[in-house]
Amino acid sequence: MQNELNIVGIQTNLTWENPEKNRLFFEKEINKLSKNTDIVVLPELFSTGFTMFPEKVAEKMDGITVLWMQKIANKNNIALVGSLVISENNNYYNRLLFVYPSKKIVTYNKRHSFTLAGEDLVYTSGEQKCIIDFKGWKICPLICYDLRFPVWSRNKENYDVLIYVANWPSVRIQAWNTLLKARAIENISYVIGVNRVGTDANKHSYSGNSIAIDFLGDDLASLQENEAGIIQTTLLKTNLQDTRKKLGFLNDMDNFKINI
């Protein structure tokens, strides 16, 4: 088990429906990072922005952006995390990829489609939660709108870190700030939330507010509104374990079953 986990989140504007330009930007930023970095987290649909026209930008699992993620993860000896538009079996998915340094890929399809934007009309919802084992840490990756649904993220698996990638608009940023802390406190888990900034082609504004939060709801690292940059933090496994042992709150959670 690795006691320390060094995580970086990149908060930036995204070039609309232009995977090549977005890849070039993120590659440049990742190449600047410390060699001690373990995980790099990119925003939701990092290669295109939150488009409702997946047919214009969708890739297969052997597509250019997936291969790029494998290359960057391997070259920099990091795990690389982010979601993109994937076409599979005649469906489109808002799919998160967790790419290991070895190029191994674990995927999670966004469970909760954002009906307010019509995401449910063009993307197929996922049906399975995903728990990733990485360097002795258990990580639960989720996507944007999933944040509003605490039952889906409830810590039945004894995970250590929740990661949310997002395109969460400025108009509802108070909910983002509040719910991230709630998820950390109720699950006694580290939480990493990585959002974008800027304005997209639909004139939706994004203020970022990316943040790392500890298992008691305290800020570890954050960015100011509308600030492009990175959040960087070191998570400590022993601190998490000691707190869970001392408080024992997870032992008292209700038993439940989710019907998909």
Query: How far is 83 from 75, CA to CA, in rounded Å?
Result: 20
Tell whether the model's pLDDT for residue 223 goes beyond 90.
yes
The pLDDT tens digits for 178-206 are 999 999 999 999 999 999 999 999 999 99
Tell whether the model's pLDDT for residue 260 goes beyond 90.
no
The pLDDT tens digits for 94-113 are 999 999 999 999 999 999 99
Q: Which of 119, 129, 144, 237 is catalytic?
A: 144
Tell whether the model's pLDDT for residue 60 goes beyond 80.
yes
The pLDDT confidence band at residue 72, using thresholds 50, 70 and 90, is very high
Distance set, CA 220 to CA 38, 134, 141 (Å): 17, 21, 19
Query: How far is 206 from 200, CA to CA, in rounded Å?
Result: 8
Sketch out the chain's domains with CATH numbers.
4-252 (3.60.110.10)
Q: Could you tell me the strand order of the sheet in which 79-88 lies? A: 105-109, 91-99, 79-88, 39-41, 4-11, 229-236
What value does the CA radius of gyration of the chain take, rounded to a whole number of Å?
17
Q: Which of 17, 110, 129, 181 is catalytic?
A: 110
Query: Cβ distance 221 to 212 under 8 Å?
Result: yes
CA angle 168, 74, 69 (to 5 degrees): 35
* The pair of three-digit structure tokens given for residue 103, joined into one six-digit string: 């190029």
Residue % of the chain over a pLDDT of 70: 100
Tell whether the model's pLDDT for residue 171 goes beyond 80.
yes
Tell whether the model's pLDDT for residue 136 goes beyond 90.
yes
Mean pLDDT, the chain, rounded, equals 97
Query: Average of pLDDT values for 222-248?
Result: 96
Q: Side chain identity at 201, as an amino acid letter?
A: A
Active site residue 127: no
Active site residue 130: no
Active site residue 144: yes
> Which residue has tokens 């995204």?
14
Query: Average of pLDDT values for 130-159?
Result: 98
Q: Which of 44, 59, 129, 181 is catalytic?
A: 44
